[in-house]
């Protein structure tokens, strides 16, 4: 209902969303390792391409493109710096291998961004919270995580209401110099803090009333179970790692320049 | 045996100069639908908090007198032990839902006491069905309306299968139709499951008809207690500042003018309409 | 005078909260805007002091288009009291809280002093002048919030859900206060779903549903139309419920006032010889 809708999560079902977040995390690590092991453009390009089916299966292409666009500035920076350093160290001229090398470094960064964004775009916070609960992380931590996800949008909306209430009493947030502007926010911050304290008290009261802390041996409504998809992903991970090690050790990797 | 019994209960919040409840002695029988009302600040909420031990365990402060709920002395037992016997539902639905899906919220109490998964699933589904929110069980709390949120709050205490459910102005943020649906749910639980209900409300227009035991509080003390029909008909109730249902008020105004509609004071528009139809029906 | 001309409003997430609303609120009118949560009531009234500007259409406040003015300027004439007082109270004392808006609007210190005293008196808060608003009860905090808006004497007053969580006596005081505003020819707009309160005040009622106005007229007319009210998740006021049931006896259906109800019933009882 408001500007803060983006902060709110929604449950989405897709073969990728339904995967066990723990396995997905291992997958991110595997891609990470592979991307570090290779420094040539061709294998890194392949690592980039093999992830695209995941993105398409999860139907998050639009968000995924947005995150890549977000990384574009840093990627350009990495490319320019790499080209520049080789330019200065190799006696002031551009060579094809140097540029290819810079492109590979940039590609490595893009692959990392890609795999992390696939993970976060396809893992809902409640799934992540559950994974935390099922791991050896203390329950209080997992609870704090999910509660934060639950209440961040609520607080954001409340901040908007408070700003509206004070603007209706003639407060002009954008008026004055920098110091005055900071002071303008006092009438917004105090009610926000007071209300957050009140809210947390009410939350604590509700938790107490529902037997919070009754036993150390908590149970859980959900259980993370491995499904077919998860086993398939495990197979893919193992495949990627074996291929990575084999290729790195025994296969001479051509450069693009060598094709010409 | 009474399910809730208090004797000379007096409680002062830490740092407060005046006690919030004074010398409260009440008795609630199993299966009753109790309505507690009174002006703002009369001590209704504080009294509710004594029923599951939030007062004094969570709030600290000084509690004098005796209180037993479901046969347990709440002074000697923690709130988490009381949670199996007494469920509290609060005014603001937003601040009592903390999970990211509805069924997870309903399961929260059961998880805390360590109920095995299959049994938990069964109880959660039962509570979801009782409150009519089974179909939306996988949604997140912000995807549903305030009325639905409050039903989740009820389901989440119901899942613990308590003997008593206490609701502190559960509908003040809701539109009238959603409020009515909530009261219907509570009434059904009371009738069909035999759960004792304690409902704190200002708006007797909507709730008086469900109750069979009314408690009127003022300045921390219980001023009137007993049959809602008698209490709502009394002048004293009006003077305390309780909002008498319009149907009851109209009945009394007509009675004063000499129109006899029968001895039973009506608590709802249906009852009054029936009495009027009977009294004014064409005779031949 | 507030005029809305076919206004539409969409939030950033493209959800259209207002889908073409046209209405005029004349000076000195008392209007209750009713409807389900999410019907667009709050979105609509936030257009009246410029907190929101329409995506399409126009809102004119005393002839000035809101897009051509600032909230601060519009608020001088249109006071808006939010539902939850805790969303605005922040000062150390009640007195400072009430002076806050006056300072924002650039009143002179001696005028501020006078206005604060006047507002405190109007809402019987004088004894709390130097008290921290955070130490007051819920009902008192609500009154401080109201006083802090009344202090600059706006000609229009918007109250968002003023009866939520209020007990019988507080509601009665609020009703009397609104009546007092009415005698001073102030425009009062309340957003509410408290049917009994509206039935007692009997203002002009505007019923909204899904971003549109579905009914606009006298309270007596709208609050006695079951089909219309059900659309908006509102139940009939209790007196209207009784009279809907009494229709077979030839009673009028459009009764919401308890005294009118009493008179009608006694009249029939007399005709039937049941009373002397």
For B231-251, how does the pLDDT look when each residue is reduced to its tens digit (9 = 90+)?
999 989 999 989 999 999 999
- pLDDT by residue (tens digit) across C126-173? 999 999 999 998 889 999 999 999 999 999 999 999 998 889 999 999
Sign of CA dihedral B150, B153, B154, B159: positive
Count of domains observed in chain C: 2
Q: Flag whether A40 is in a domain.
A: yes
Task: Please report whether residue C261 resides in a domain.
Answer: yes
3-class SS at B138? coil
At A7 the pLDDT is: 52
Structural contact between residues C143 and C134, judged by C-beta atoms closer than 8 angstroms? no
Would you kindly state where each structural domain of chain B is located, as residue ranges? 1-85+162-233, 98-161, 245-284
* pLDDT tens string C218-252: 999 999 999 999 888 899 999 999 999 999 999 99
What percentage of chain C reaches a pLDDT higher than 90? 87
Same domain, A105 and A40: yes
What would the mean pLDDT of A174-194 be, rounded to a whole number? 92
Rounded alpha-carbon distances, angstroms, from residue A163 to A160, A186, A207, A211, B169: 5, 11, 30, 37, 28
Helix (H, G, I), strand (E, B) or coil at C159: strand
What's the DSSP call for residue C162?
T
Tokens 């129109």 locate to B259
Report the chain B residue with the minimal C-alpha distance to residue A153.
B142
Note whether residue C224 is domain-resident.
Answer: yes
Domain B1-85+162-233, CATH number (from 3.40.50.300, 3.50.50.60, 3.40.50.40, 3.40.50.150): 3.40.50.300
Q: How much is the mean pLDDT over chain B?
A: 94
Q: C220 with C246, same domain?
A: no
A92: its two tokens: 């002031």
Parent domain of C268: 237-276
Determine the residue of chain B that is closest to A213 in CA distance: B112
Inter-chain touch B247–C238, beta carbons under 8 Å: yes
Q: Please give the pLDDT value at position A4.
A: 46
Domain count, chain A: 2
Could you say which of C13, C17, C71 has the minimum Cβ distance to residue A168? C71
Helical H segments across chain A, by residue range: 21-37, 41-50, 52-58, 61-89, 96-122, 125-134, 139-167, 178-184, 186-209, 228-250
Most C CBs within 10 A among A169, A191, A200, hence the mutation to make, goes to: A169
Looking at the domain assignment, is residue A192 inside a domain? yes
d(CA A145, CA A124): 12
Question: A49 and A90: one domain?
Answer: yes
- Indicate if A110 and A21 belong to the same structural domain: yes
Structure tokens at C271: 């005709």
- Chain A and chain C share a number of CB contacts under 8 A equal to 79
CB count within 10 Å of CB A217 equals 7
Residues A39 and A109 in one domain: yes
Q: What percent of the residues of chain B are helix, what percent strand, and what percent coil, each to the nearest 5? A: 45, 20, 35
Structure tokens, C242: 């009784």
- CA pair distance B139, B127, nearest whole angstrom: 16
The number of beta carbons lying within 10 Å of the beta carbon of residue C76 is 16
Per-residue pLDDT of A137-157, as tens digits, reads 888 888 999 998 889 889 999
Are C242 and C224 members of one domain?
A: no
A139, closest residue in chain B (CA to CA): B112
In a domain, A222, yes or no: no
What ipTM was predicted for this assembly? 0.92
The set of chains that have 3 or more CB pairs under 8 A with B is A, C
Is C79 at the interface with chain A, CB within 8 A? yes
Q: What percent of chain C has pLDDT over 70?
A: 100
Q: Which secondary structure element, helix H or strand E, spans residue B21, and what is its range?
A: strand B21-24
Residues in chain C within 8 Å Cβ distance of A195: 86-87
Has residue C127 been placed in a domain?
Answer: no
C43 part of a folded domain: yes
Asked if the Cβ–Cβ distance from B241 to C167 is below 8 Å, we say: yes
Q: Is residue C197 part of a domain?
A: yes
Contacts of A179 (CB under 8 A, 6+ apart): none
**How many whole angstroms separate alpha carbon B273 and alpha carbon B10?**
42
Q: Do B104 and A199 touch (CB under 8 A)?
A: no
Chain B residues in contact with A128 (beta carbon < 8 A): none
Which own/partner pairs from A193-201 qualify as long-range (CB within 8 Å, at least 24 positions apart)? Answer: A194/C86, A194/C89, A194/C90, A194/C134, A195/A158, A195/A162, A195/C86, A195/C87, A196/A155, A198/C86, A199/A151, A199/B95
Decide if C168 is inside a domain: no
Burial class (CB in 10 A: 0-12, 13-18, 19+), A7: middle
| Same-domain pairing of A30 and A81 | yes
Residues C218 and C256 in one domain: no
Residues of the domain holding A167: 128-209
* pLDDT-wise least confident of A156-170, A239-253, B201-215: A239-253
Tokens of A154: 């609520």
The 10s digit of each residue's pLDDT in C100-109 is 999 999 999 9
CB-CB under 8 Å, A199 with B95: yes
Question: What pLDDT sits at residue C276?
Answer: 65
Please indicate, yes or no, whether residues A74 and A52 belong to a single structural domain of this protein: yes
- Nearest by CB to A218, from B94, B111, B124: name it: B111
Q: Please report which residue ranges of B131-227 form alpha helices under DSSP H.
A: 146-158, 176-193, 204-207
Q: Do C204 and C267 fall within a single domain?
A: no
**Which chain A residues are within 8 Å of C90, Cβ to Cβ?**
186-187, 190-191, 194
């Amino acid at each position: 209902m408001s500007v803060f809708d983006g902060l709110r999560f929604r449950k989405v079902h897709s073969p990728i969303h339904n995967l066990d977040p723990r396995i997905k995390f291992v997958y991110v690590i595997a891609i990470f390792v592979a991307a570090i092991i290779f420094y040539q453009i061709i294998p890194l390009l392949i690592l980039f391409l093999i992830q695209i089916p995941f993105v398409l299966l999860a139907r998050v292409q639009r968000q995924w493109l947005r995150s890549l666009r977000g990384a574009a500035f840093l990627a350009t920076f990495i490319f320019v710096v790499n080209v520049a350093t080789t330019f200065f160290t190799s006696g002031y001229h551009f060579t094809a291998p140097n540029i290819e090398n810079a492109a590979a470094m940039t590609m490595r960064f893009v692959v990392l961004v890609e795999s992390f964004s696939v993970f976060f775009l396809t893992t809902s916070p409640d799934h992540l919270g559950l994974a935390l609960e099922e791991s050896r992380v203390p329950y209080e931590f997992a609870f704090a995580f999910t509660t934060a996800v639950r209440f961040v949008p609520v607080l954001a909306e409340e901040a908007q209401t408070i700003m509206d209430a004070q603007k209706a009493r003639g407060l002009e947030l954008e008026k004055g110099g920098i110091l005055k502007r900071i002071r303008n926010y006092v009438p917004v911050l105090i009610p926000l803090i007071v209300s957050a304290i009140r809210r947390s008290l009410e939350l604590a009261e509700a938790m107490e009333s529902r037997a919070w802390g009754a036993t150390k041996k908590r149970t859980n409504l959900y259980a993370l179970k491995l499904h077919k998809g998860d086993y398939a992903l495990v197979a893919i991970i193992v495949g990627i790692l074996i291929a990575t090690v084999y290729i790195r050790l025994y296969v001479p990797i051509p450069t693009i320049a060598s094709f010409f | 045996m009474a399910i809730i019994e208090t004797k000379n209960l007096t409680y002062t919040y830490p740092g407060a100069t005046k006690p919030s409840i004074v010398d409260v002695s009440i008795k609630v029988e199993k299966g009753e639908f109790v309505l507690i009302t009174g002006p703002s600040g009369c001590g209704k909420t504080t009294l509710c908090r004594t029923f599951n031990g939030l007062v004094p365990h969570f709030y600290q402060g000084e509690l004098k007198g005796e209180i037993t709920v479901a046969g347990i002395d709440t002074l000697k037992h923690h709130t988490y032990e009381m949670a199996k016997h007494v469920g509290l539902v609060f005014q603001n639905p937003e601040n009592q839902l903390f999970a990211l899906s509805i069924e997870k919220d309903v399961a929260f109490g059961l998880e805390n006491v360590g109920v095995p998964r299959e049994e938990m699933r069964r109880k959660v589904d039962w509570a979801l069905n009782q409150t009519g929110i089974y179909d939306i069980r996988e949604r997140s709390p912000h995807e549903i309306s305030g009325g639905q949120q409050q039903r989740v709050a009820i389901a989440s205490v119901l899942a613990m299968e308590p003997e008593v459910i206490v609701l502190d102005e559960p509908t003040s943020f809701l539109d009238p139709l959603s409020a009515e649906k909530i009261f219907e749910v509570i009434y059904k639980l009371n009738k069909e499951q035999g759960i004792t209900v304690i409902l704190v409300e200002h708006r007797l227009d909507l709730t008086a008809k469900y109750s069979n035991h009314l408690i009127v509080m003022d300045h921390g003390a219980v001023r009137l207690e007993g049959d809602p029909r008698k209490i709502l008909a009394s002048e004293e109730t009006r003077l305390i500042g309780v909002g008498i249902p319009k149907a009851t008020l109209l009945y009394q105004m007509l009675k004063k003018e000499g129109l006899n509609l029968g001895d039973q004071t009506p608590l709802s528009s249906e009852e009054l309409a029936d009495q009027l139809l009977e009294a004014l029906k064409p005779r031949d | 005078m507030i005029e809305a001309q076919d206004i539409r409003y969409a939030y950033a997430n493209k959800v259209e909260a207002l889908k073409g609303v046209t209405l005029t609120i004349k000076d000195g009118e008392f209007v209750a805007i009713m409807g389900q949560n999410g019907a667009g009531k709050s979105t609509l009234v936030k257009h009246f002091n410029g907190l929101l500007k329409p995506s399409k259409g126009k809102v004119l406040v005393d002839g000035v288009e809101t897009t051509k003015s600032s909230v601060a300027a519009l608020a001088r004439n249109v006071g808006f009291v939010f539902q939850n007082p805790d969303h605005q109270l922040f000062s150390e004392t009640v007195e400072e809280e009430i002076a806050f808006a006056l300072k924002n609007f650039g009143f002179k210190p001696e005028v501020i002093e006078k206005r604060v005293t006047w507002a405190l008196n109007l809402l019987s808060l004088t004894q709390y002048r130097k008290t921290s608003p955070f130490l007051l009860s819920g009902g008192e905090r609500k009154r401080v919030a109201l006083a802090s808006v009344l202090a600059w004497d706006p000609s229009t007053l918007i109250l968002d859900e003023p009866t939520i969580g209020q007990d019988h006596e507080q509601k009665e005081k609020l009703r009397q206060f609104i009546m007092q505003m009415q005698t001073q020819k102030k425009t009062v707009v309340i957003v509410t779903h408290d049917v009994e309160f509206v039935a007692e005040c009997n203002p002009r009622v505007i019923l909204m549903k899904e971003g549109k106005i579905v009914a606009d007229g006298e309270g007596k007319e709208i609050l006695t139309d079951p089909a219309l009210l059900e659309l908006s998740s509102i139940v009939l006021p209790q007196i209207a419920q009784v009279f809907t049931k009494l229709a077979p006896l030839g009673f009028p259906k459009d009764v919401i006032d308890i005294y009118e109800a009493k008179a009608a019933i006694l009249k029939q009882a007399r005709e039937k010889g049941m009373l002397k």
